[in-house]
Amino acid sequence: MKQQLKTVKSAKQLTVTYFSIIAFAIITLHFSLLDATLEDFEQINANNRLQHAKAVAEEVLQEQSNITQFAIPPFTHAYLDPKLLPPQVRFPENTPWDKAFEIRSQGADDTEYFAMKTRITDNKTDKTLYLLFSDYIYEISEEQVFLNQLKQLGISILLLVVSFVVVLKASARLTNPLTQLANDIDSRNAGDLSPIAPPSGINSREVLQLVDSFNLYVNQINELLNRERSFNRYASHELRTPLMVMKGATSLLGQSDDPAFIAKQQKRLEQATSEMNDFVTTLLSLTREEDMDNISSRQLDRKELEEIASAHTSLLSGKHVDWYVEAPQPIEIKMPENAFKILLGNLIKNAFAFTEQGHVIIRMTPSAIMVEDTGTGLKSNETGHKGYGLGLLIAADICRKYHWHLHHKTNQYQGCTATISLQANEKPNGLTE
C-alpha cells in the first residue's frame, strides 16, 4: 500500500495540475477568440469595401466604357483585364465569384490584398471585373488592436498567476489539517486504540466528521476487543465446572461396578455434556447474523423458570436465603431454550452468589422477567467475582441479539433487581392485540 501511495499525487500537487490545465485552456481560448475576432472583422470590412467598390465601378464604366483599369479612392483598384493586374498578384483559377479573399503579393513589398472577382454589365455586355483592396491604415490599426489585446492578455496572465498563488495558499490551508491527520494516523502504533485529536489549523466540517468517524470506529474496535477478552474469560469460567464434573465422573466410573452408581455418574456426564453443548451453541449464535422474523415463538412457563433456578441452588448452600418463582400465566417468547437458559441462569447465579440472607424472587409478567434479590447490591457486584460480572456481559449480549433489553437497578432498601424487557410483539399466552 505504501508503495502505491508513492505514485499517487498529493492534494496540493493535484491542485497545481488542475489549475495549470485550466489556466492553459483559458489562455488558449483567449488567443483563439482574439485571432478569430480579428480575422472575422477584417473579412467583413474587406467584403463591404469591395461590394461598395463594385457599385462605384459600374457607375464609372457607364460614363467611361473604354477604360480597362482605374482607381476607386481611397484604397481600391479595378481591372477589366487580368493581364493588367500587378505582376506580383495572381488570382487562382478556381477563384469564387463575389467573395472577398486575402492574397499576399509575391514581390519585395510583401503587401497583403483583399481581392474579389465579380461580373458587371457594360452596354448590355457581361464583363469580368477584378478588384484589389489594400488598406495600409487598417493594417496599422489591426496591429494596434493586436497589441492592445496582447496587453490585456498579459494582464490576464498576471491575474492568473495571482489567482494561482491565492488558490495554492487556500488549498494548503484546507489540506494541511487533512495531511496532518493522515500523518498522525500513519504514525500510530498498531495497538494504539486511543481517540485521535482534531488536527491544528483551519478544520472543515468534513475533516471534523472524518475525525469523529475514525474515533467512533476505533471505539467500536476497542469495545469488540474488550468483549472478546471478556468472552474468553467467561467461556473458560463457565466451561470449567462441567469439565470438572466430567473429569470426576469419568474417574469415579472406574472405581465401582455398582449399576446404580454407574447410572448416576452417566447421568452427571450427560448433564455436563448437555450444559456444555447449550453453552457453546449459544455463544456461537451470538457471532452469527440471524433473521429474527424466522425465529418461531415458544411458550415460557413457571416450570422452566423453576428448573433453571434449581440448577444453581448449590450457590445457596449454608445461606439463609429463600427463593421462589412468581409466574401467574405462561407467555410467548422468541428465544431458543438454550439461549434463555444461559441468560436467566446468569442473572439467577448472580443473585444467589451475592445474597447472604433474605430472598430471591424470579418474577414473570406479560412484558418483563425480573430477578429480585436482597443481596449486597450493584456496587458490590461490580467489584466481586469476575466470573459473575462476565456472565452479565454475556446476558446483555444475548438480550441485544434477540432485541430484548436488560437493565439493573438498586432496590430501595437492600439488594438489586435485574429486569429483562421483552419485545413489543411478544405477549402473554392467550392474549391478542
**Amino acid 135: pLDDT:** 65
Q: Which residues 6+ apart lie within 8 Å of 312 measured at CB? A: 345, 348, 349, 352
Question: Cell numbers at residue 218, please?
Answer: 476505533
By the 10 Å C-beta count (0-12 exposed, 13-18 middle, 19+ buried), 308 is classed as buried
Predicted TM-score (pTM) above 0.75: no
Q: Which residue has the cell 494548503?
A: 172
CA-nearest of 321, 428, 413 to 369 is: 428
Helix (H) or strand (E) holding 429: none
**Amino acid 290: pLDDT:** 66
CA distance readout (Å), 223 to 162, 216, 314? 51, 10, 34
**Amino acid 245: pLDDT:** 80
Q: 216-246 pLDDT, tens per residue?
A: 988 888 877 877 777 777 677 777 777 888 8
Task: Name which residue leads in pLDDT, 245 or 356.
Answer: 356
- Greatest mean pLDDT among 201-215, 281-295, 370-384: 201-215
Q: Decide if pLDDT at 387 tops 60.
A: no
Separation of alpha carbons 57 and 69, rounded Å: 10
Mean pLDDT score across all residues of the chain:
80
CA dihedral 420, 421, 426, 430 (to 10 degrees): 80
DSSP secondary structure, 241-265, as one string: HHHHHHHHHHHHHTT---HHHHHHH
Q: 34-82 pLDDT, tens per residue?
A: 778 877 887 888 888 888 888 888 888 888 878 888 898 888 889 988 8
**Amino acid 389: pLDDT:** 62
Q: Which domains does the chain have, with CATH numbers?
A: 13-151 (no CATH), 205-285 (1.10.287), 295-421 (3.30.565.10)
Helix (H) or strand (E) holding 170: helix 136-186
Band of the pLDDT at 3, cuts 50, 70, 90?
low
